[in-house]
Amino acid sequence: MNPKDYVSKIVFYDKLSDEEKTHVSENVTIRNYSKGEVIHSCTGACIGLIYVITGSIRVSIISEEGRELTLYRLKDKDTCVISAACVLHEIRFESAMTATEDTTVLVLNSKALGKLVDQNIEVRCYSYEIATKRFSSALFVLQEIILTSFDRRLARFLLENAEKDGNELHMTQEMIATEISSAREVVARMLRQFVLDDLVELKRGTIVLKDPEGLRKITGEN
């Protein structure tokens, strides 16, 4: 896989001069990560701009106690500059990135990105635009945690992530807790209540949605 085949996928590429395009082509690499592998840690070195070719990345923050709070996900064709906070000096945001499946990304290193940000207004505007978009996603998650009851959050998560054809969700309670920024015990307790209410059925590693309409009523979105 040649990184130069993907540089044109970077949103601001068409706004670059020929010299800048050459600069980008000489400073991009392709990196492959296995499922569960850490791409960027809260205290890790600045990576640069990331463009997801294939796969999925979970972006999170981790408390001193080790609790992980998922802020948003990156999927195919998504771009992120949070991993280049050293370039965007106004951004002070320490986050971790983890591959949630086998993932391939195109990386424009931080030094090259920094040069473009300094000399090209289009790149600078785009970088702050995408950073603002990611911060908005993170803020939405925080608002959900603070303002939305847990039963609504869990019901919405089950509906959004269950297989559409079979109404089944193949995830452990630990995985769900990580995704919705809660504790496994809290997830287990609420799922038991959903079972008592005949909304779901629990199997090993699988949650069957017996009454999707009932879950939808809990979310208040029906």
Q: What is the pLDDT of residues 149-206, one digit of tens each?
A: 999 999 999 998 887 667 899 988 988 988 888 888 999 999 999 999 999 999 888 9
Q: 5 vs 2, 8, 22, 108, CA distance in Å?
A: 6, 7, 13, 13
Give dist(CA 191, CA 155) in Å, integer.
9
Residues 100 and 162 in one domain: no
* Pairing of the two strands 200-203 and 79-80: unpaired
Domain count, the chain: 2
Are 61 and 94 a contacting pair, CB within 8 Å?
A: yes
pLDDT tens digits along 97-131? 899 999 999 999 989 998 998 999 999 888 888 88
Residues 160 and 90 in one domain: no
What pLDDT is attached to residue 128? Answer: 84
Which H or E run includes 132?
Answer: helix 121-147
The residue from 115, 130, 146 where one domain ends is 146
What pLDDT is attached to residue 103? Answer: 96
More confident residue, 74 or 163: 74
Q: Tokens 């790149």: give the residue.
A: 123
Residues 26 and 55 in one domain: yes
What pLDDT is attached to residue 29? Answer: 93
More confident residue, 1 or 122: 122
Residues 84 and 167 in one domain: no
Residues 114 and 126 in one domain: yes
Q: Is residue 12 left, alpha or beta, with left meaning phi > 0 and alpha meaning psi from -120 to 50?
A: alpha
What pLDDT is attached to residue 65? Answer: 66
Residues 66 and 14 in one domain: yes
Torsional sign, CA 12, 16, 20, 26: positive
Residues 70 and 127 in one domain: yes
CB atoms within 10 A of CB 41: 13
What pLDDT is attached to residue 30? Answer: 94
Give dist(CA 111, CA 155) in Å, integer.
44
Residues 160 and 87 in one domain: no
Q: What share of the chain is helix, strand, coil (3-state, %, to 5)?
A: 45, 25, 30
More confident residue, 164 or 1: 1
Q: Per the structure block, which two tokens stand in for 190?
A: 């609420």
Give dist(CA 184, CA 18) in Å, integer.
52
pLDDT tens digits along 20-66? 999 999 999 999 999 989 888 766 677 889 999 999 998 887 766 66
pLDDT tens digits along 204-217? 889 999 999 999 99
Is a pLDDT exceeding 80 seen at residue 83?
no
- For 92-114, b/e burial (b = at least 16 CB within 10 A) is eeebbbbbbeebbbbbbbbebbb
More confident residue, 53 or 83: 53
Give dist(CA 199, CA 142) in Å, integer.
27
pLDDT band at 84 (very low <50, low <70, confident <90, very high): low
Structural domain boundaries, residue 122: 3-146
pLDDT band at 86 (very low <50, low <70, confident <90, very high): low
Residue type, 1: M
- Is-above-0.85 flag for pTM? no
